[in-house]
Homo-oligomer: A and B are copies of this chain.
Amino acid sequence: MLSAWGRPQTPAMPKAPPAPTPPTDRKVTLGMVARASGVSPATVSRILNGTAVVSDEKRTAVDRAIAELGFVPNPIARGLAGGRTLSAGVVTQSIDSPFYGVALRGIEEELGRVGYRPLFMSGHWDPAEEHRCIEELLARRVDGLIVLTGRLGDDELCRVAQSLPTVITGRTLAAPGLYALDFDDCEGARLATEHLLSLGHRRIAFIAGDPSHPDAQQRLLGYRAALQTAGVRYRAALVRPARFFEESGRIAVERLLASGEPFSAIFAANDQMAFGAALALYERGLRVPDDVSLVGFDDLAGAAHVIPPLTTVHHPGYDIGRIAAACLLELLAGNVPSARLPAPALVVRASTRTAAAEA
Contacts and interface: CB of A to CB of B under 8 A. Distances in A.
B127 A14 contact: yes
Interface in A92-108: 94-98, 101-102, 104-105, 108
Contact of A153 (B4, B19, B246, B250): B19
A94 B98 contact: no
Interface in A297-334: 301-302, 304-309
A274 to B, nearest CB: 10
A73 interface: yes
A99 to B, nearest CB: 10
A77 B2 CA distance: 56
A7 to B, nearest CB: 8
Given A2-B237, A117-B140, A237-B2, A305 B19 contact: no
Interface string A207-251: 010011000010010000000000000001101110000110010
A60 interface: no
A263 interface: no
A81 to B, nearest CB: 9
B127 A236 contact: no
A280 to B, nearest CB: 10
Nearest to A288: B307
Contact of A72 (B74, B95, B139, B302): B139
A135 interface: yes
Contacts of A171: none
Interface residues of A, number: 86
A31 to B, nearest CB: 14
Interface in A25-78: 26, 72-77
Interface in A268-289: 272, 275-276, 278-279, 282
A85 B295 CA distance: 47
Contact of A212 (B14, B18, B118): B14
A5 B211 contact: yes
Contacts of A118: 120
Given A76-B85, A117-B119, 14 more contacts: A2-B240, A14-B151, A76-B79, A76-B141, A95-B101, A96-B101, A98-B301, A117-B136, A120-B120, A246-B301, A246-B305, A275-B305, A279-B307, A279-B309
14 contacts: A2-B236, A2-B237, A4-B241, A5-B239, A6-B239, A12-B211, A75-B140, A95-B108, A108-B120, A118-B120, A276-B305, A279-B309, A302-B302, A306-B307
